[in-house]
Structure 1
Amino acid sequence: MKRKIDDVEFKRREVERLLGETEKPLRIAQENLYEREKRQGLIFLTVRITKVVFNNYLCILGIDLVHDNVERELIREIDTIKLSQQKLRQMLERLNTQNAINRASLHELERDAQDKFRARVLDSAAHNVKTTSRGINFYQGIETVDNTFSVPETWTRYTEENIRRALSEMSQSDELMNAGNQLMSATNSDMWSQWNHVNVSLENRVQEEHVAKNKIQSHLEKILQEIFDVEQNIEFLKKTIADKEAFLQVAHTRLETRTRRPNVEACRDPAMHRLIQEVHDLQAAIADLHGKLRQEENAVQHLLRAKSTLEQDLAIKNNSLFIDADKVMGIRRTFTIAGPEKHSITSVSFSHPRGLITA
């Protein structure tokens, strides 16, 4: 009986030692799960921000609403983040399952340790019973009672199997945590890389829009100056026509006045020839000025249409710059993705209890 007590005590201590060793990896696994849940939340937030950015980008108007590199990179970023989210969700499910298995193994070890502690107490109590002990008594037929569940071989094998299973599950847990660390590093690297691709495309787009806006503004200033010059020329032509018409009125009045000369005095003299020639010259000059006036008025209408088109293009560019530079890049500046780094949780090595696990 003393040997049995020693065997029970030895195995109890080994089981309790293993329990102590398994507490740390279980705690680490729990921390690993918490870290990945935080990562899932971060990725979910990133997806929402990217979708907000993409929806803002779709508010671009007119000729600027094109399927350009920025849109392609934003779509690729959404796909990258969703894929990373899916992979991490699957890894989180595997870790949750493994953590449940680990806890079940730990529970078996705890129950085994408790049973061995109780058995040691009862065996010690039985070993210490003597003829002088109080409470000894006859128990008729007790020698025929057999409530045993094991024999020495199965008793030893049961504890060894519990320990072997716990070590195996903890080893798998360690491997799974390492795989999770690698997955976190890989997904973070992919997301960070694509995040930078989008930022570079946005910066290039904003620079192109600034250049285009400056060209439109410069062209618009030239058009406005041309409109001003043409309108000044129109005013000059109108004044010139008014002056010529005043001279034509004078020539017409002179001719009309001379038509009232009596009898033979109504002579077709050089003065009449000069007045008639003056009328013809003035009428030709006025007709030529009216032609130039129509040309200038047509030109100013063309310039006004060009001015309207340029102002519309400028409004579109300003709207695109507001969306790209202020809203889209502003949102992305408020939420940045950290560069690739090593996400790791310290692995725990498991040693086999000497004397319990045989080769």
Structure 2
Amino acid sequence: MSSTLKLYAESVLPVPPPPSRYTLNEWYLNNRVRNRTCLDQQQLADKILAECEREREHITEITLMNKREVDHKLEEKIGDISFNKGELIRQRKEVCLEIDNLSIYNERIVDALAFLKNQALLINKKCILFREERLGIDLCHDDVERELHKETEVIESAMNLLCRIMEQGNEQLRRLRSTTYFIDRDLEDKDNVLQVDGGSLSINQNSMNLSMYHGFTPLDPANITVEEADAFTKQNIARGANEINSARCLRSYVNTMISQVMDDLRGQANLVNESFRRRIDETKEAKVKLEGFMALAHTRLGRRAQRPGIELCRDLVELNLVNEVRELRDNCATLQQLLAEAQASLRYLLKTQIQIEEDINVKTNSLKIDEVDCMTLRQGLDYHNY
């Protein structure tokens, strides 16, 4: 391209066409349209503002209503939890009281076992050992020995029975303590819930330290229904009532068994004592009879000592009489020793009987004090929120 043409192309500029001309009517029409549009937009804006105000008031009313409903539900929840807490506390007191009562009964069983082992059985064994020192023909299986061995069996059976009852008592105590453990856990949870719900009820929309949650994890992690929570509390209360009833039945059974055991032991001790009395009477009678024969032999020896002259010799009659006197003397000594041993055993048995009766009286008095006096008095303890 030549330089002339280049200069011509650079000097030529495009010129816009002239603006279109409007008529006066178009101008008036355009103004009227714009005014109408402004009025319509203003009316629409007023409608939107009024609708926003109505919706704001409606939402505010719903929000306040929902808050009042939540507050009411919180108050109901706090009341229900407080009621259940009071029931749990009352049941726990009864369970603890039953633990104390059952512990006292277990101590009674321990005392009874200690008495049977350290006194009754020991005295019985000593009586059997003493009677093993009988001499000669008197070392026989008489009624006294049979009753003493039977007494041993009765004492050992009573000890085994009391041991089994004590095991049942220990198991019942374990179950009662387990019940208090679950009740304590439930009470601790209810205390925490009362603090949380009480704190939630005390705050409002104008309280300080309110916060917004911007996470993605749901704020409702609860997966236990209200019915399940109430059932758990009712189960703890029902469990406490069942264990209390079981413990009371066991205490009644302990009373019956202790009375029956002591009656059996007392009856057997009376049988042994009666056997001793009969044996002592038989021994005394035999001793008296032997002493009669001794007097007869002495009389015969005295009369034969008056034989005259050469007739006063040691013939067979003389030898037999002397031998008879010696044997009678030995037999009398044996019977005398057996009588002393029987009387000593009888004294031991009488002492045992007295100790048993004293122990029964002591336990009867303790039972009256604990079960009648104290428990009747403690029924007046009614702790409640004044």
Query: Under TM normalisation by the shorter chain, which class is it?
Result: 0.7 to 0.9
- The equivalent of 2:75 in structure 1 is 2
Aligned twin of 1:208: 282
Structure 2: how far apart are the matches of 1:22 and 1:161? 14
> How has the CA–CA distance of structure 1 residues 83 and 157 changed in structure 2, closer, same or farther, with 3 Å as cutoff?
same
Q: CA deviation at 1:228?
A: 3.1
Instruction: Give 1:48 shift.
Output: 1.6
Check whether the contact 1:227–1:303 (CA below 8 A) recurs between aligned residues.
Answer: yes
Which residue is equivalent to 2:247? 173
Structure 1 stretches of 4+ with a deviation exceeding 4 A read 339-345
Cα deviation code 1:187-221 (max 9, x no counterpart): 11111111100101101111111122122223213
Residue pair 2:81, 2:190 contacting (<8 A) in 1 also: yes
* Matches of 2:216 and 2:93, distance apart in 1: 39
Q: Does 1:33 align with 2:51?
A: no
| Distance of 1:139 and 1:195 partners within structure 2 | 83
Please give the residue correspondences for 1:36-47 in structure 2 after superposition, counting only pairs within 5 Å: 36-44=109-117, 45-47=119-121
Partner of 1:324: 342
DSSP 3-state at the match of 2:204: coil
Q: Which runs of 5+ in 1 are unaligned?
A: 239-291, 350-359
Distance 1:47 1:146, change over 3 A: farther
Distance of 1:147 and 1:297 partners within structure 2: 122
Matched residue pairs, number?
292
1:33 maps to amino acid: N
The answer to whether the Cα contact below 8 Å between 2:102 and 2:173 also exists between their aligned partners in 1 is yes
Q: Against the structure 1 CA distance between its residues 79 and 108, is the aligned structure 2 distance closer, same or farther, given a 3 Å change threshold? A: same
> Contact 1:70 / 1:202 at 8 angstroms: preserved in 2?
yes
Q: Name the structure 2 match of 1:312.
A: 330
1:14 — aligned with what?
A: 87
Distance 1:218 1:134, change over 3 A: farther
Q: State the partner residue of 1:84.
A: 158
Residue identity over aligned pairs, in percent, reads 22
Q: Which residue of 2 aligns with 1:335?
A: 352
Matches within 5 A, 1:1-359: 1-44=74-117, 45-141=119-215, 144-148=218-222, 150-233=224-307, 236-238=308-310, 292-293=311-312, 297-325=315-343, 327-336=344-353, 337-338=356-357, 346=371
Provide closer, same or farther for how the CA distance between residues 60 and 147 of structure 1 changes in structure 2, counting only shifts above 3 A.
Answer: farther
Give the distance between the partners of 2:144 and 2:184, measured in 1 at CA.
58
SS in 1 for 2:133: coil
Distance 2:287 2:272 in 1: 22
Is the CA contact (8 Å cut-off) linking 2:306 and 2:312 kept in structure 1? no
CA distance 1:228–1:134, shift in 2 (3 Å):
farther
> Unaligned regions of 5+ residues in structure 2, if any?
1-73, 377-386
Secondary structure of the 2:357 match is coil
Report how far residue 346 of structure 1 moved.
Answer: 3.8
Q: Please give the alpha-carbon distance, in whole angstroms, between the structure 1 residues aligned to 2:347 and 2:221.
A: 76
Q: Give me the whole-angstrom Cα distance separating, in 2, the residues matched to 1:232 and 1:180.
A: 77
The answer on whether the counterparts of 2:151 and 2:268 sit within 8 Å (CA) in structure 1 is yes
Deviation at 1:132, TM superposition (A): 4.4
Is contact 2:269–2:349 with CA below 8 Å preserved after alignment?
A: no
RMSD: 2.4
Change in Cα spacing, 1:138 to 1:237, as seen in structure 2 (3 Å) is farther
Q: Displacement, 1:147? A: 4.7
Distance 1:2 1:109 in 2: 23
1:301 Cα offset (Å): 0.7
* Higher relative contact order, chain-length normalized (CA < 8 Å, sep 6+): 1
| 1:130-153 Cα deviation digits (max 9, x unpaired) | 344444344543972455362211
Q: Residue type of the partner of 1:214?
A: V
The answer to whether the 8 Å contact 1:231/1:300 transfers is: no
Counterparts of 2:170 and 2:159, CA distance in 1? 16
In 1: Cα distance, 2:279 partner to 2:216 partner: 93
Letter matched to residue 138 of structure 2: D
Is the CA contact (8 Å cut-off) linking 2:116 and 2:159 kept in structure 1? yes
SS for the counterpart of 1:75 is: helix
Question: Partners of 2:305 and 2:220 in 1: how far apart?
Answer: 121
* TM-superposition CA deviations, 1:85-138 (whole Å, max 9, x none): 111111111111011101111221122112212211221012112344444344
| Distance of aligned partners of 1:147 and 1:222 in 2 relative to their CA distance in 1, 3 Å threshold | farther
| 1:156 Cα deviation after fit | 0.2
User: 1:144 aligns to what SS in structure 2?
Assistant: coil
